[in-house]
Amino acid sequence: MSELSTGQVYRRLLSYVWPQKWALLVSVFGFALYASSAPALAHLMGLVEKTLRLPHPENVELLVMLLVGVFFYRGIGTFLGKYFVVVVARGVVHNLRSHLFAQMVRLPSHFYDGESSGRLISRVIFDVEQVTGASTRAITTLVQEGLTVVGLMAYLVWLDASLTLIFLALVPIIGVVVSLASRFFRRYSRRIQNSMGEVTQVTNESVSGYREVRTFGGEQYERERFEAASRYNQKQTLKFALTNAINVPLNQQIVALGLGVMVYLMFQRVASGTMSGAEFLQFMTAASLIAKPIRALTDINSIVQKGIAAAQSIFAVLDAEPEPAGGDHAPAKVAGELQFKQVSFRYPGSEQDALSQIDLHVKAGETIALVGPSGSGKSTLVNLIPRFYQHNGGEILLDGHAVDDYQLANLRSHIAIVSQSVTLFNTTVRDNIAYGELAGCSQQQIEAAARAASAHEFIEQLQHGYDTQVGEGGSMLSGGQRQRIAMARALLKDAPLLILDEATSALDTESERHIQQALEQLMQNRTTLVIAHRLSTIENADRIVVVENGRIVEQGSHRQLLQLDGAYARLHRLQFSEGEA
């Protein structure tokens, strides 16, 4: 995707403000009230001068009433403007975060392979807040201070058009200064966002891996890594602040120069009798009041540039290509027959294939074990079935239909997966077993799945049973307990196609024996692909497929492969000798 222009980014950003248009209109009305009070106050300075000359009680009472009245409706305008602009801002934050999160859960696996989790989290938290500054705070300032400037300029023109031209001559000069500052603001904003992602990433890794950090004495290393990320963020933030600190007083100095020329000319006119004292006070007050909103208008440039840089980062995710939805094939049930025909796959950025010319036919209800050294392509092969990755060549068929022809959600509804790295969510045991589309399952169904996975007994012994919170990533449970809950989740889904990727690796021998018994029943009339490091767990598989360097080198039963005395036999002898040792 080509990078959007600043105008395109800002227009797209404002589309998130539009759903809050009624709150925005009330806010604009409030700021318009506030802005109108500035020329009103300037005009009252003429009445102050007359009251000083003729301090009759009725004149004083009128002046006081007018002053109180102006500040009263100015206060109403401030309330309406500031409150309802917050309503708009939080609406933008909610909608933008919701769209961003919804997009993230639809992005393909290779997107996450190339992005740090810290940067993605930073987009949702930090970047969105920067965007709201540009979409709401900038609009607030633009409306409030912009209307104030327009009102005061109109009043100055009404008082003396020739003097007002001096102010108008300053506008192009201020525009040049603002334009130059914009380049620096955007550059440093991008660096600040990236550095915030790095800070988030280091923090996330250090907190989640605190056991490894302390076990291997990594405290100092992590402190230095965090300090380096934080210091870079500090450096870029200071550069941004320096640019802003130069930009604002420079614009103020330009305005002050214009004011100085105007004051000099006004005194000349008062001396010559062409301007009265009341007019002098009115013009002087209005000219003085216009300096603050002009300064505020130049200030919003930094906010806008921050927001645009953040918006470009957010829109890059929103515009990323989501997972292809696939075709229209959406059967209610599948038998589970799988065919790999000359399938090849290469990870993005890699120079060699992870899988090459894979030919494999798995009958419905057959149990296939995939074995081979680490990095041989076993997990990659099974990840192509639910389309976590898109194969580069060949064809994968499920029940005679290409997996690409299935609706993506429908395809995955027929597959249950238990992997070596178990993911549990920071909620109850029950919610982790009956997760997602399984949430409607009854307690009896949940307990039956847990019993089959040898998990019911230890769950019952937890403080609150199935209502026990498991902690972040299941931190309150042991590795074996986490694995059994993940197994119960897969059992509860009861899908016709089951993928077990080192699913029993974290279990002790007794638990593994119980689960193997449950799996033998589960695998009946169900297509199962098992990736196992311990060959003893897959001896009863219908067929064992040996994968090396992304290719299938052998396949057959346990007995056949031992008799063949090839790659499988070597692996078996190696594990047997290790077990004896």
Q: In which band, very low, low, confident or very high, does the pLDDT at 412 lie, cut at 50, 70 and 90?
A: confident
Mean pLDDT of 150-178: 70
Longest dimension (CA), the chain: 120
Comparing 54-58, 79-83, 102-106, 557-561, the range with the smallest average pLDDT is: 54-58
Q: What is the mean pLDDT of the chain?
A: 79
3-state class percentages of the chain: helix first, strand second, coil last, to nearest 5: 65, 10, 20
Range of weakest confidence among 230-244, 294-308, 401-415, 422-436? 294-308
Given this model, what pLDDT does residue 395 score?
Answer: 92
Phi, psi dihedral angles at 390 (to 5 degrees) = -100, 120
Q: So what's the pLDDT on residue 508?
A: 63
Residue 1 above 50 pLDDT? no
What angle in degrees, to the nearest 10, is found between the helix axes of 138-159 and 277-318?
150
Report percent pLDDT > 70 for the chain.
81
pLDDT for residue 342 is more than 90: yes
The residue ranking higher by pLDDT, 130 or 455, is: 455
146-155, 378-387, 445-454: range with lowest mean pLDDT? 146-155
Give the pair of three-digit tokens for residue 144: 């409030």
44, two tokens = 């009252």
CA 148 – CA 321 distance, rounded (Å): 45
* DSSP string covering 181-204: HHHHHHHHHHHHHHHHHHHHHHHH
CA 72 to CA 65: how far, in whole Å?
10
pLDDT of 432-481, one tens digit each? 898 888 888 899 999 988 888 888 888 999 888 999 988 877 778 887 78
Whether the predicted pLDDT of 507 surpasses 70? no
pTM above 0.75, yes or no: no
Q: Give 80-108 pLDDT, tens digit per residue.
A: 887 888 888 888 888 888 888 888 888 88
| Beta-ladder partners of 397 | 339, 402
At residue 581, does pLDDT exceed 50?
A: no
pLDDT tens digits along 296-339: 776 676 677 777 778 888 888 888 888 887 788 889 899 889 99
Q: Within 13 A of 121's CA, how many CA atoms are on the CB side?
A: 14
Rounded mean pLDDT, 217-240: 79
Q: Which residue has the higher pLDDT, 192 or 411?
A: 411
pLDDT at residue 397 in the model? 92
164's tokens: 């007002």
Residue 495 has pLDDT above 50, yes or no: yes
Instruction: Report which residue type is found at 218.
Output: G
**120 vs 49: which has the higher pLDDT:** 120
Q: Beta-strand (E) ranges in 259-373?
A: 338-345, 355-362, 367-371
Query: pLDDT-derived band of residue 580, with 50, 70 and 90 as boundaries?
Result: very low
Query: Span 331-411+541-581: which CATH code?
Result: 3.40.50.300
pLDDT, residue 522, reads 63
Q: What is the spatial distance between Cα 534 and Cα 555, in angstroms, rounded to a whole number?
A: 17
Residue (of 289, 329, 56) closest to 281 by Cα position: 289
The upper half-sphere exposure of residue 75, i.e. CA atoms within 13 Å in the direction of its Cβ, equals 6
**401 membership: H or E segment, kind and range:** strand 401-402
Residue 213's pLDDT is: 63
The predicted pLDDT at position 321 comes to 84
- Residue 409 CA to residue 391 CA, distance in Å, equals 18
What topology does CATH give the domain 6-318? ABC transporter transmembrane region fold (1.20.1560)
- What region does 336 belong to: left with phi over 0, alpha with psi -120 to 50, or beta? left
Per-residue confidence band for 77, with pLDDT thresholds at 50, 70 and 90:
confident
Q: Taking residues 524-545, what's their average pLDDT?
A: 82
Q: Tell me the sheet residues that pair with 344.
A: 393
The pLDDT value recorded for residue 466 is 92
Provide mean pLDDT across the span 389-408: 90
Residues β-bridged to residue 544: 369, 556
Q: Where are the domains of the chain?
A: 6-318, 331-411+541-581
Contacts within 8 Å (CB) and 24+ apart, 566-569: 567/372, 568/371, 568/544
pLDDT at residue 142 in the model: 75
